[in-house]
């Protein structure tokens, strides 16, 4: 087993994408858009046709985002076998269906065919790398690189290793994704659902509860999100949002003042005990995020972003209406 990367993250030219469904295909589109050579493999008989059609539909979006130099759909090759797909790869993105036995076998196969020192990132959302890396001869270079759908647009990638992954592989993958244009969170420990999905699932379950109880409809829930907290969450996460809700006193004031309302029956999610330790940790870490910006500055930045988002969304609607022949609003 090697502990030395075959190439530096900066020198990656060829990415192998194993599994080319919605997520795998989204990765293919992303890597093509960033100028990489991409070799894909998927065992489904109609995989290539579906993949090329997915890339075709994603391409206008990638063009609007701005293609990297040399980026082209022609840089996509579909390999007939997994071994051929990974043989010349500088990095492998695995996006197979979410079945543990299948993922474990596939990662072992990838590892066996892959040159030494090449890192593999798995798109898994449901399993930990510790569970999946058990069959591979060299589990040290297998890490999770969990994207959000569509991977060619949503910047977030959560990177984390398993028990047998080595730190160099986690660091290498994090740096590679960053160079490939993603917003990377390198996690210190495995956590079911990682971070983004835990938050997303909490919202989703609360939504299901409301519909189950007949308290709100799907339309009301979606409207409440897009015209309410969702607008802010595109640029201020939940912690910065609540920091601002504390006014000049920030997170500390928010927790000290509204702490008791944590116990209000506002969701079906049980509230954590607001211990002094948790309170202090929230305040301290929020201070780091705020990084010296005053409340007035944060508010000015928030307002500007919210308006920019609303205007951008209105502009898209005007364009779409014009395209439908409804003329300008």
Residue 14 parent element (H or E): strand 14-18
User: For residue 170, which phi and psi values (nearest 5 degrees)?
Assistant: -60, -45
The CB-of-23 to a copy of itself minimum distance in angstroms stands at: 10
Which residue in the set 44, 102, 191, 322 belongs to the binding site for a copy of itself (CB under 8 A)? 191
If one asks whether residue 321 binds a copy of itself (CB under 8 A), the answer comes out as no
Q: Is 19 annotated as a binding residue?
A: yes
Which residue in the set 83, 104, 134, 216 belongs to the binding site for a copy of itself (CB under 8 A)? 216
Query: Which residues does 306 contact at the CB level (< 8 Å), separation at least 6?
Result: 231, 232, 235
Print the binding letters for residues 26-45 with a copy of itself: x by CB under 8 A, - otherwise.
--------------------
Query: What is the largest distance, in Å, between two alpha-carbon atoms of the chain?
Result: 64
If one asks whether residue 3 binds a copy of itself (CB under 8 A), the answer comes out as no
- In the complex with a copy of itself, the residue whose CB is nearer, 87 or 199, is 199
Which residue in the set 52, 135, 178, 209 belongs to the binding site for a copy of itself (CB under 8 A)? 209
Binding positions for a copy of itself, 52-71, rule CB under 8 A: 57-58, 61, 64-65
Binding positions for a copy of itself, 116-135, rule CB under 8 A: 126
- How many binding residues for a copy of itself (CB under 8 A)? 112
The CA R_g of the chain, rounded to the nearest whole Å, is 22
Q: Is 307 annotated as a binding residue?
A: no
Binding positions for a copy of itself, 267-296, rule CB under 8 A: 267-275, 278, 281-282, 285-286, 288-289, 296
Q: How far apart are CA 318 and CA 311, in angstroms?
A: 10
If one asks whether residue 210 binds a copy of itself (CB under 8 A), the answer comes out as yes
Q: Is 35 annotated as a binding residue?
A: no
If one asks whether residue 208 binds a copy of itself (CB under 8 A), the answer comes out as yes
**Eight-class DSSP state of 234:** T
Cβ neighbour number for residue 93 with a 10 Å cutoff: 28
Q: Which residues of 5-40 are buried (b: 16+ CB within 10 A; e: fewer)?
A: bbbebeebebbbbbbbbebbbbbbbbbbbbbbbbbb
Residue 176 contacts residue 119 (beta carbons within 8 Å): yes
Which residue in the set 11, 46, 69, 265 belongs to the binding site for a copy of itself (CB under 8 A)? 265
User: For residue 148, which phi and psi values (nearest 5 degrees)?
Assistant: -110, 155
If one asks whether residue 100 binds a copy of itself (CB under 8 A), the answer comes out as no
- In the complex with a copy of itself, the residue whose CB is nearer, 75 or 286, is 286
Q: Is 246 annotated as a binding residue?
A: no
If one asks whether residue 198 binds a copy of itself (CB under 8 A), the answer comes out as yes
* CA distances to 187, 229, 299 from 306, in Å: 29, 11, 10
Q: Three-state SS for 316?
A: helix
- In the complex with a copy of itself, the residue whose CB is nearer, 1 or 262, is 262
Residue 166 contacts residue 152 (beta carbons within 8 Å): no
Binding positions for a copy of itself, 146-165, rule CB under 8 A: 148-150, 153-156, 158
If one asks whether residue 309 binds a copy of itself (CB under 8 A), the answer comes out as yes
Q: Which stretch binds a copy of itself (CB under 8 A): 87-95, 132-140, 171-179, 192-200?
A: 192-200
**Eight-class DSSP state of 271:** P
**Eight-class DSSP state of 124:** -
Q: Is 154 annotated as a binding residue?
A: no
Which residue in the set 1, 44, 102, 299 belongs to the binding site for a copy of itself (CB under 8 A)? 299
Q: Is 88 annotated as a binding residue?
A: no
Closest CA to 62 of 25, 20, 33: 33
Residues tagged in the binding site annotation for NAD(+) = 19-24
What residues form the annotated binding site? 19-24
């Amino acid at each position: 087993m090697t502990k030395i990367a075959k190439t530096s993250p900066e020198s990656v030219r060829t990415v192998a994408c194993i599994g080319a469904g919605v997520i795998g295909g989204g990765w293919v589109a992303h890597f093509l858009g960033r100028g990489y050579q991409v070799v894909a493999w998927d065992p489904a008989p109609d995989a290539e046709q579906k993949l090329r059609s997915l890339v075709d539909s994603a391409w206008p979006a990638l063009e609007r985002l701005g293609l990297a130099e040399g980026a082209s759909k022609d840089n996509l090759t579909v390999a007939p076998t997994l071994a051929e797909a990974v043989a010349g790869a500088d990095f492998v993105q695995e996006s197979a269906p979410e079945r543990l036995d299948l993922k474990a076998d596939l990662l072992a196969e990838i590892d066996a065919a892959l040159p030494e020192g090449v890192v593999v990132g798995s798109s898994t959302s449901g399993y930990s790398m510790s569970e999946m890396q058990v069959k591979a001869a060299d589990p040290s270079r297998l890490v999770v690189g969990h994207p959000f759908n569509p991977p060619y647009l949503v910047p977030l990638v959560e990177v984390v290793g398993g028990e047998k992954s080595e730190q160099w592989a986690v660091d290498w993958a994090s740096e590679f994704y960053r160079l490939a244009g993603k917003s990377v969170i390198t996690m210190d420990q495995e956590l079911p659902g990682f971070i983004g999905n835990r938050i997303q699932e909490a919202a989703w379950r609360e939504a299901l509860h409301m519909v189950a109880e007949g308290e709100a409809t799907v339309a009301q829930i979606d409207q409440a999100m897009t015209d309410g907290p969702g607008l802010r969450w595109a640029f201020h996460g939940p912690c910065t949002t609540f920091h601002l809700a504390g006014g000049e006193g920030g997170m500390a004031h928010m927790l000290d003042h509204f702490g008791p309302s944590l116990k209000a029956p506002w969701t079906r999610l049980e509230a954590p005990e607001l211990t002094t330790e948790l309170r202090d940790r929230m305040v301290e870490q929020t201070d780091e995020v705020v990084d010296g910006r005053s409340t007035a500055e944060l508010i000015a930045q928030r307002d500007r972003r919210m308006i920019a988002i609303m205007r951008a969304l209105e502009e898209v609607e005007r364009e779409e209406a014009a395209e439908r022949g409804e003329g300008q609003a």
